Amino acid sequence: MHRSAPRLSRILACAAVPVMLVVAGCSSDSGDAKDSGSGASASASAKKTEPTVEPAKFAELPDACSSSLGKKTIEDLVPKTKNKGGSPGTSSDTTSRGRCSWNGLDDNGVKGSQYRWLDVGYTRFDSDQSLGSGADRAKDEYTKQVAKAQATEGAEKTSAKPATGLGEQATAVTYGLTKSKEDFEYATVVARTGNVVVSVTYNGAGFAGAKTPSAADILKGAQKAAKEAVAAVGASGDDTEKSSASPSAEASASSSAKTDDKS
């Protein structure tokens, strides 16, 4: 009787081993499930907090030839314009790029002639998750165009100054340039409004003994054209404002209009 007690204890201990292993296995599975669920939750959370770029303000551009400048402005800045409708630049995507230029020679006989050339260019950028917002991309382009104007080959007495009243940022670059033995005065105004960069270049020269136009007059003309060209971007449409009205708001407005009609 006394000898059977130890044998019984050993049997019970051995029998308990598989049970403990099973319990341990269940505990391990439970932990894995929790870890898996936690990982999925963290992944979902990461996706939700991923930053999104600011929507582009403008989705289209004004026609550079027909909508950028008023007819009176073109007549004032480019007398005797060869093509009043302007000469359009080539672009494979008119929603992203547009350009137009005008030139004319005002012949005054023995008093000489005055030549003028005017160019308006637009560059628009969309917002892209990998490239950044349209506004930020336009800022980079704005900086490049100002630097390009300042680096014009053969330019003399180059000057760059901030221009006011033209979008979010603007710079006016002036310089002199000799071409075909004639002295030209140049002014390039580069401005940014939202996700659009506007560039206006105006130059002039006196031929056959006529005086070269003053740098101040050329700059004044370029700034006048730039103000109209920038304003034309805003007039072409603002996506943010258009999309702010929800379908329910539109329905409410329609219902209100009908009520007004009945009254």
Who contacts 219 (Cβ-Cβ below 8 Å, separation ≥6)? 172, 174, 187
Structure token pair of residue 4: 């059977």
245/95 Cα distance (integer angstroms)? 24
Task: Encode the chain (263 residues) as per-residue pLDDT tens digits.
Answer: 455 555 545 544 544 444 444 444 444 454 554 555 555 555 555 555 567 889 999 999 999 999 999 999 999 999 999 899 999 998 888 889 999 999 999 998 888 999 999 999 999 999 999 999 999 999 999 999 999 999 999 999 999 999 999 999 999 999 999 998 899 999 999 999 999 999 999 999 999 989 999 999 999 999 999 999 999 998 855 444 343 333 333 344 344 444 444 44
133/126 Cα distance (integer angstroms)? 7
- Reading phi first (left if > 0) and then psi (alpha if -120 to 50, else beta), residue 114 is in beta
List the chain domain ranges: 1-50, 71-237
- pTM, entire model: 0.72
Q: What is the pLDDT of residue 169?
A: 97
191/170 Cα distance (integer angstroms)? 4
Strands 182-193 and 169-179: antiparallel
Q: What is the pLDDT of residue 48?
A: 55
CA-atom Rg of the chain in angstroms:
36
From 232, 229, 150, select the one nearest 187 (Cα to Cα).
150
From 44, 56, 228, select the one nearest 129 (Cα to Cα).
56
Q: What is the pLDDT of residue 35?
A: 52
Q: What is the pLDDT of residue 246?
A: 36
226/180 Cα distance (integer angstroms)? 28
Q: What residues form DSSP beta bridges with 118?
A: 102, 202
Q: What residues form DSSP beta bridges with 115?
A: 105, 205
CATH number for the 71-237 domain, one of 3.40.1000, 1.10.357, 3.40.50, 3.90.1690? 3.40.1000
